[in-house]
Structure 1
Amino acid sequence: MGYFKNAAKGVSWMGLLRASTRAIAFLRIAILARLLTPDQFGIYGVGSLILAFLEVITETGVNIVLIQSRKKLVHYLDTAWVVSIFRGMLISFLMILVSYPVSLFFGSPASLNVILFLSLVPFLRGFINPMIVSFQKELDFKKEFLLRFSVFSFDATLAILFAFLTKSVLSLAIGLIGSALLEVFLSFYFLKPTPRFKFEKEKIRYIISRGKWLTFAGVFNYLFEQGDDWVVGRIMGTQSLGIYQVAYKVSSLPVYEVGQVFNKVTFPVYNLIKDDKERLKKAFYKVTLTISALVVPFGLILFFFTDPLVRIVLGEKWLSAIPVIKVLSIFGIVRSIASSAHSLYLGVDKQEYSTIVTLVGILGLGLTIVPLVIKFGIVGAGFSALFGTLVSLPLVFYYLAKVFKEK
């Protein structure tokens, strides 16, 4: 019972974190949308796409492995830090290497400097103390709230301040760089013990081997979440990309994150009760019903009140985002409910299920995205994302049944 009591507290703290960060994000977008143009958001979007892609393809899954391990965090602390540092350096190097070809691919010379600025972010993040994962492993979500809220608020404040002063797209990158620096500082100042630079080959091999399915899952998840952005940016240009990404942030993302609050908290709980199938099943059903009760009304409000939302939050120059926001709000509802299964898969050490489900979603997206974007523009991209989620649902249900039947 103690696990669920802690989980309930975790949901409260993570709910507060998501609600407060979403409120800040809405305020941030509302201000920046009036200071910057859709094209500038698209230029930054190119940089964020390549940063996210390189982070995903180099993902070691170290945090998930640390949570799943029955051993104390300190056992893998030094090794996890070394892995993170080298990964951060690799991502930074690759970003510098591909910055020019990527800017050519999107026909956006202005994105070159954004990519170069953003290359500092993974380098800095690599030095974060891995003990930061202890908050989630030990279900101490109050401390996670304080840390994440501080970092997110600092990012938003810096970005808005520099946008006021410069009206430059680089203000978005500066916010991210500043928040990465702050997170490194806080992770060492408040979390003990601190790691040492110690190379242990066997432990590195263990972490990487355990995380391989998470790497594949991350790549597939990226392709599903960001593949539409690449197509929109390539076919329609950075202005349409900016409109599409902002539409996603004010529609699908807030709805999806309601579910993510529960998923982040319940994953370690599922891991603790994974051997009691009846208890596991009841817990999963309760969580999924709760998520549904929250996201369905929220998504429908976004769907029916899109016009005033856009006018109030973004302003008149973003009215072309209204049709795609309607589609993405429905996408957010379906995706949020379906994603509750993924935290269960991780909790019972079945990362491969998430990978395969996401792969099916990618196939659905991949088969429809180009023709729908060509015919319907950014609204077509929204329909393609929705189709990709719907087509993967039968497999989600199949694997759920399999998890609950396995001895």
Structure 2
Amino acid sequence: MNLKSSLLWTGSLRIVTRGLTIIKTLILARILTPAQFGIFGIASLVLGFLETMTETGVNVILIQEKGDIKNYINTGWVVSIVRGFLISSLIIFMSPFIITFFNSLESLYSLRLISLIPIIRGFINPAVVSYQKNLKFNSEFKFRGSLILFEVVTTILFGLIMRSEIAFVLGMITSSFLEVVLSFAIISPRPRLEFNFKKLKILLSLGKWITFAKIFDYLFSHGDDIVVGKLLGVYPLGIYQQAYKISTLPITEISETFQKVTFPLYSKMVAENASIKKIYLKTLLTTSLIIIPFGIVLYLFPKEIVILILGNQWLSAAPVLQVLASFGVVKTIANSSFPLLLANKRQDLVMALTLIGIIGLGTTIYPLVNIYGLVGAGISTIIGSLVMIPPAFYWVRKLTND
């Protein structure tokens, strides 16, 4: 499958996914309150943090692997299962401390329920990465599209019936069950409960930089949520998270579509010792020409967009939406180097770039939030992304010099 066809299928999946997500938000934002969104936001923050802290990098390594992925499937699956039970146990154990940290007793039930998700996800067939590895993005479109449709429909139904933030968690649980079933029903090879210590050492050795990079990326992407939830509470957290999603949704989805396609493409080009510079620059230019107009629209019409998508009760999201529109553009440019660095197996540089972003975010967010509230959090995210751009372009230049 060529680059144009790959972009078409991946872009279509992103459009379908985010289109359905917008429909879900349109409906549930008029049923649930910002505080209820914030309660779920705390539970999802904890799940995301622990999933990131225990990330093994198996999927990325399987894509990078030049040979048959069968050699690592069984061990990777066992690791995934053990990881799922570990994450679940940690959520249960940490729940009392989490609700104290965020001063949100009402988050306890959501935390306990969401602890089921990593156990279920642990049983997903690791061979699902074969679609991306082999550039079969048409098959991935059908697989992922079915899952997101199922999750959106079930979440909306639970929301209409229960009028509770628990609807989000139940939608994730049912979708995770379906993914496990489909991953074994339609994808091969199918793993077995076999464990090879030597292969585990290889996976962990190759994946260590990915693990660190994922941790840093999570802290960079959600450090602002943690600070907002801690300093301002669940209601402002719900407002901020929805503004963040709206502002970055069209921009980051476009950029991530390009990144998802170019990573396996760059990996193949590196293996064949082909020149990457031209296609990288072309991809960066094309992405920039698409995302900048989206950023301008979000900046000029924040109130209208908030009312259209979320409704009048969310109008306090408009000022931060305006700030975060600029963040989406800057972040896309900063992250454009990631697929190229990963293709060259320079996970250490991805980690270093993300660490630079965290330093920029971490040194500014507390004073800015204390002074400007939610808008201050948005400004801090822009600073974090801006400081990543110079070193990112420097390393890209070094790696693409033929």
TM-score bin (small chain): over 0.9
The answer to whether structure 1 residue 145 and structure 2 residue 141 are counterparts is yes
The answer to whether structure 1 residue 38 and structure 2 residue 51 are counterparts is no
Deviates more, 1:285-294 or 1:230-239: 285-294
Aligned to 1:128, the other structure's residue is in SS state: coil
Following superposition, the deviation at residue 193 of structure 1 comes to: 2.2
Q: How many angstroms apart in 2 are the aligned matches of 1:324 and 1:191?
A: 43
Following superposition, the deviation at residue 387 of structure 1 comes to: 0.5
The answer to whether structure 1 residue 245 and structure 2 residue 241 are counterparts is yes
* 1:309 alignment partner in structure 2: 305
Following superposition, the deviation at residue 275 of structure 1 comes to: 5.8
Following superposition, the deviation at residue 7 of structure 1 comes to: 2.4
Q: How many angstroms apart in 2 are the aligned matches of 1:322 and 1:286?
A: 34
Q: How many angstroms apart in 2 are the aligned matches of 1:290 and 1:278?
A: 21
How many residues matched?
402
Q: Which string of whole-angstrom CA distances, capped at 9 and with x for unpartnered residues, describes residues 140-177 of structure 1?
A: 00111111111111111111101111101100100111
Q: Which string of whole-angstrom CA distances, capped at 9 and with x for unpartnered residues, describes residues 219-249 of structure 1?
A: 1001100000000000000000000001111
Unpaired stretches in structure 2, ≥5 consecutive residues = none
Are the aligned partners of 1:132 and 1:187 in contact in 2 as well (CA < 8 Å)? yes
Q: Which string of whole-angstrom CA distances, capped at 9 and with x for unpartnered residues, describes residues 159-214 of structure 1?
A: 11011111011001001111111110110010122110001100011111100000
Q: How many angstroms apart in 1 are the aligned matches of 2:396 and 2:290?
A: 22
The answer to whether structure 1 residue 354 and structure 2 residue 350 are counterparts is yes
Q: Which string of whole-angstrom CA distances, capped at 9 and with x for unpartnered residues, describes residues 346-396 of structure 1?
A: 011111111001101000000000000011111100000000000111111
Alpha-carbon spacing, 1:275–1:148, altered in 2? closer, same or farther (3 Å): closer
Q: How many angstroms apart in 2 are the aligned matches of 1:199 and 1:80?
A: 8
Are the aligned partners of 1:257 and 1:336 in contact in 2 as well (CA < 8 Å)? no
The answer to whether structure 1 residue 339 and structure 2 residue 335 are counterparts is yes
Q: How many angstroms apart in 2 are the aligned matches of 1:254 and 1:49?
A: 22
Are the aligned partners of 2:275 and 2:400 in contact in 1 as well (CA < 8 Å)? no
In the superposition, the TM-score normalised over structure 2's length comes to: 0.98
Are the aligned partners of 2:36 and 2:238 in contact in 1 as well (CA < 8 Å)? yes
The answer to whether structure 1 residue 119 and structure 2 residue 108 are counterparts is no
Q: 2:322 aligns with which of 319, 326, 331?
A: 326
Which contiguous aligned blocks of 4+ residues in structure 1 show a shift greater than 6 angstroms? Answer: none
* 2:368 alignment partner in structure 1: 372
The answer to whether structure 1 residue 404 and structure 2 residue 400 are counterparts is yes
Unpaired stretches in structure 1, ≥5 consecutive residues = none
Q: 1:266 aligns with which of 240, 256, 262?
A: 262
Following superposition, the deviation at residue 83 of structure 1 comes to: 1.0
RMSD: 1.1
* 2:227 alignment partner in structure 1: 231
Q: 2:155 aligns with which of 149, 152, 159?
A: 159
Are the aligned partners of 2:63 and 2:129 in contact in 1 as well (CA < 8 Å)? yes
Q: How many angstroms apart in 2 are the aligned matches of 1:149 and 1:404?
A: 35
* 1:396 aligned partner, one-letter code: A
Are the aligned partners of 1:252 and 1:330 in contact in 2 as well (CA < 8 Å)? no
